[in-house]
DNA sequence: ACATTAAGTGATT
DNA sequence: AATCACTTAATGT
């Protein structure tokens, strides 16, 4: 287990910090499709993802879920970091997309390490940064009503986190995650096929191009 | 062969 | 882009 942690974070954290992480953290293994954190839950630990992928979703007023982003190995959770300061509760829901192994760190350590270790500061800042960047991207496509880009990005992201270009998924499921209708997704999928960006079969989509 | 579910299409808002 | 109504195709029993 220590190996798994080192494999992922050896170059990011200094030795001292790694030892503290190993001392205070506890390993948690989660099956696929489990709701790990729900909205309103109290956050007592901060996760370091060692393997697997986690889907982070929010909910609108009518209770419709929509996808914010994925967390994968080497990631942590910006939301948790934020909530630690002031003991706020979770505003999002986290569901395991694959079986997941994470390292749970008590949030009390957060403050302490922020002062003690510069590699920890860099890590936290970096997490915020990449999250913010990704959010801006989604806002961008959202504002311009570019559903086609959203669908394509969704498929690429999913292929990345699941480590496979071939995805077992239906148009309806994509529509649900992007909060649109199945009909719309089907039509956009057809465009993407015409552009040779993807290919499909029943219950299956293969991503062919990962660039634009 | 029949029922069910996924995906395609045209028209309308 | 969303919704409706309807068709066609693929699969399971």
Rounded mean pLDDT for each run of 10 residues along chain A, 212 residues in total: 80 91 92 91 90 88 78 84 77 91 90 92 91 84 84 94 94 94 96 95 95 78
CA–CA dist A189, A148 (Å, integer): 8
Instruction: Give the residue ranges with Cβ < 7 A from strand B.
Output: A 170-172, 182-183, 186-187, 189-190, 200, 202-204
Tokens 């570019």, residue? Answer: A146
Supply the pLDDT for residue A136. 86
Longest dimension (CA), chain A: 54
Give the contacts of A212 (CB within 8 A, at least 6 positions apart).
none
Same fold, A2-142 and A145-207: no
pLDDT computed for residue A75 by the predictor: 85
Residue A62 is predicted with a pLDDT of 66
Query: Residue A127 CA to B8 C1' — how many Å?
Result: 42
Question: What is the pLDDT at residue A1?
Answer: 67
Q: Do residues A119 and A16 make contact, with C-beta atoms less than 8 angstroms apart?
A: no
Bases of chain C with protein Cβ within 7 A: 1-5, 10-11
Is CATH 1.10.10.10 the right assignment for the domain spanning A145-207?
yes
Q: Of the candidates A99, A107, A106, which has an alpha carbon nearest to the alpha carbon of residue A29?
A: A99
What residue spans define the domains of chain A?
2-142, 145-207
- pLDDT at position A143 is 77
Find out whether A99 and A30 touch, Cβ atoms under 8 Å: yes
Q: What is the pLDDT of residue A19?
A: 92
CATH superfamily of A2-142: Jelly Rolls (2.60.120.10)
Write out which nucleotides of chain B lie closer than 7 A to a protein Cβ: 6-11
């Amino acid at each position: 287990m220590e190996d798994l942690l080192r494999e992922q974070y050896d170059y990011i954290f200094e030795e001292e910090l790694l030892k503290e992480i190993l001392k205070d953290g506890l390993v948690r293994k989660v099956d696929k499709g489990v709701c790990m954190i729900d909205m309103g839950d109290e956050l007592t630990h901060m996760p370091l993802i060692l393997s697997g992928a986690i889907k982070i979703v929010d909910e609108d007023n009518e209770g419709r879920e929509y996808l914010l982003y994925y967390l994968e190995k080497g990631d942590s959770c910006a939301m948790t970091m934020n909530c630690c300061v002031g003991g706020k509760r979770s505003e999002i829901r986290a569901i395991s997309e694959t079986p997941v192994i994470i390292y749970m760190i008590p949030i009390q350590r957060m403050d302490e390490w922020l002062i003690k270790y510069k590699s920890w500061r860099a890590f936290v800042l970096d997490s915020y940064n990449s999250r913010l960047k990704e959010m801006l991207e989604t806002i961008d496509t959202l504002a311009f009503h570019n559903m086609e880009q959203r669908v394509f990005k969704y498929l690429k992201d999913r292929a990345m986190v699941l480590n496979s270009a071939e995805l077992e998924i239906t148009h309806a499921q994509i529509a649900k995650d992007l909060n649109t209708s199945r009909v719309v997704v089907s039509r956009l999928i057809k465009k993407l096929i015409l552009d040779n960006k993807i290919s499909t079969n029943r219950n299956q989509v293969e991503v062919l191009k990962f660039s634009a």
